[in-house]
Amino acid sequence: MGEQETARCFYTAMRSEINQHLLIVNQIYTLYLGGTTALFAGALHKEGNHNLLLLIPYLSLGAANMLGSHERAIGSIAAYCAQELEDSLTKNGVAVTQWDRSKNLRKFKDSHYASNRAGGLTLVVFPGIAALCLAVFFIYSSLKISPAAHSGLWIKVIAACVGALCLVRASWIIIQTARYRKKLGDMINQPTLNRQPRSAISRFLSNLGFTR
């Protein structure tokens, strides 16, 4: 098998890997939104437990971590395909512009990364903020209604404070992931970086078990 055929095999495997990561990202969103919906329903039911709302910020952090990991992997693999495999794929004068280097993508990539960041914050962080605000409201209301509500109050306060930190961390992860993807996108569209034999992207893929 020649170099070009080998590169094509690697390219096909990497694009398939990207599709798998995208599928997992969609599944994470589905599971997270389903979980938060169930917790909201259980907490806001007439006889529900309002303390369930305190769990949602922790789910937000977990979802943000998993989404960030897969989004970074997608960006790194795309950069690997567009940069490190390009020389081998264009042997014998046969060259096809990859999607990650296309002019159409370059035109709207900034808005793409901005909408990706806004979507992540809306779907992952906003439910956590709403849940935390409602939890604090219910805690305050219970204190006014019944003195017995003071029992275990400090646990709820600690849980609410840690939940707020989780939401800050989740927001930071989503924003930094979007910046990382944008940085990789800018690298891909710089021809001077086109022929570097090895990079941090290659080392990242090697750690995942992919080698050339």
Asked whether the predicted pLDDT for residue 200 surpasses 80, the reply is no
**Which pLDDT band, with edges at 50, 70 and 90, does 193 fall under?**
very low
pLDDT at residue 109 in the model:
67
Contact 77, 186 (CB under 8 A): no
DSSP string, 115-137: HHHHHHIIIIIHHHHHHHHHHHH
Please give the Cα distance from 94 to 175 (Å, whole number). 38
DSSP 45: S
93: left (phi over 0), alpha (psi -120 to 50) or beta: left
Q: Token pair for residue 195?
A: 């022929």
**46-57 tens-digit pLDDT:** 777 888 999 999
Return the higher-pLDDT residue of 86 and 29: 29
Max Cα–Cα distance, the chain, nearest Å: 81
Total-model pTM? 0.77
Q: How does residue 12 score in pLDDT terms, banded at 50, 70 and 90? A: confident
Q: pLDDT tens for residues 125-170?
A: 999 999 999 999 988 887 776 665 567 788 888 999 999 999 999 9
pLDDT > 70 in the chain, percent: 72
pLDDT of 178 > 80? The answer is: yes
Highest mean pLDDT among 91-105, 137-151, 184-198 belongs to 137-151
pLDDT on residue 195: 43
Encoded amino acid at 53, one letter: L
How many C-beta atoms surround the C-beta of residue 1 within 10 A?
A: 7
Q: What backbone phi and psi angles, to 5 degrees, belong to 18?
A: -60, -45
For residue 40, pLDDT over 50 is answered with yes
Chain-centroid distance of CA 202 in Å reads 21
